[in-house]
Amino acid sequence: MPRTIVHIVLSTMASAGVSALAAADLTVHEIAPGVHAILQPTANRFDDSNSAVVVTARGAIVVDTQVSPAGARAVLAHVRDLTDLPVATVINTHWHGDHVQGNAVYADAFPGVSFIAHRNTRRDIEARAKAALQEELETVPGRLEAAEAQLVSGLRRDGSPLSDSDRGQLRLAIDRRRAHLQRVEEVTFVLPEIVFDERLTLYRGDFEVQLIHFPGHTRGDVVVFLPRQRVLISGDLLDDLPFTGHGSPAALARTLRELEQLDFSHVIPGHGQVRAGKAHLRLVAEMFESIVVHVEAAVAEGKSLENTKQSAELDRFRAMLVTDAASARYWDFFIPEAIARAFEEAGASPEDG
């Protein structure tokens, strides 16, 4: 897509999502007795977060709450189908808006619910998620007006004409962003009131629920591990295609290798399909290891950031991880961000080289 259209589509990656879907659009999968994944449609899997639901004798545990109250209500409709018991606990795996901005739906529906997250996630919701949403509400309307004007003129910013395909994609992106803005206008942030640093274990009947801090996607990432059921709920540490623009490619590679040592049979990711086994984890770990090695060598040779991006040999990983238009679009955003982040971590600045 032309850069101006990509900018409209991806302009608010920190809060993710450009639409909230109805409950009927979501799919529910029982991964183990009492353990369920509520998944976004494949084509929209990067737009909003999945949720995991653990139904215990003392109430349900919900992991992650979508980008908007409307999205959270769609998930909650399925939770109510799974159990008559209240939601007792909500776990936020990290601070990004598509994982926390639906918290208030659960606070309103279940007055006794507890919210749990890593200590840094609480800090980053206050310092970053709120600011990101406010910036989105203040700046995106102006960008959408400019995009509307672009449609009227039929011209890109460089004066060249928009094709019919360009116009159709831009119209769709504008409409989806407007609908998204209407939904996030009603967001009220609810902060986790239970925080921890490295590990926290909950015992709920037959469930041992281990919350473990692993950095990589952000500084406050938490996985939820159910050892008896052999299920790992990974947040965005192991998506179909992970993003490290707010984290660390090197730390993510180390984290994935550490997660590989856990005894799990299935992974419920923050975005994308449920994975059986560890093959996808190993593939993603190898890709980030490759990025880190490449960037460190490029920095040692004095290469620029742009040259480092262009010389990265990642076609093998792209062929296995990019499966449709959505993943192709996000690859083109996520991977340059990962290389830039690794470049910074290697002690270089974008102007070096």
- What is the per-residue pLDDT across 177-215, written as a single tens digit (0 to 9) for each? 899 999 999 999 999 999 999 999 999 999 999 999 999
153 CB-contact burial (10 Å; exposed 0-12 / middle 13-18 / buried 19+): exposed
Binning pLDDT at 50, 70 and 90, where does residue 347 land? confident
Distance in angstroms (rounded) separating the CA atoms of residues 177 and 318: 28
- Single-letter residue type at 56: T
Residue type at 254 in one-letter notation? R
Q: Nearest CA to 190 among 268, 114, 252, 290?
A: 114
pLDDT in tens, 31-44: 999 999 999 999 99
pLDDT in the model for residue 228: 98
Q: What is the pLDDT of residue 156?
A: 87
Give me the DSSP letters along 305-340: HHHHHHH---HHHHHHH--SHHHHHHHHHHHHHHHH
* Residue owning tokens 């803005």: 181
Pairwise CA distance, residues 93 & 3, whole Å: 32
Please tell me what DSSP assigns to residue 85. S
**Lateral strand order in the sheet of 199-204:** 199-204, 207-213, 222-226, 231-235, 266-269, 275-276
For the stretch 90-100, pLDDT in tens is: 999 999 999 99
Compute CA distances 171 → 28, 66, 145, 317, whole Å.
31, 25, 12, 32
| pLDDT tens digits, 254-291 | 999 999 999 999 999 999 999 999 999 999 999 999 99
Chain segment 206-234, per-residue pLDDT in tens: 999 999 999 999 999 999 999 999 999 99
CA 124 distance to own-chain centroid: 15
CA 68 to mean position of chain CA atoms: 14
Residues in the chain: 353
Domains in the chain (CATH in brackets) are 13-122+189-277 (3.60.15.10), 282-345 (no CATH)
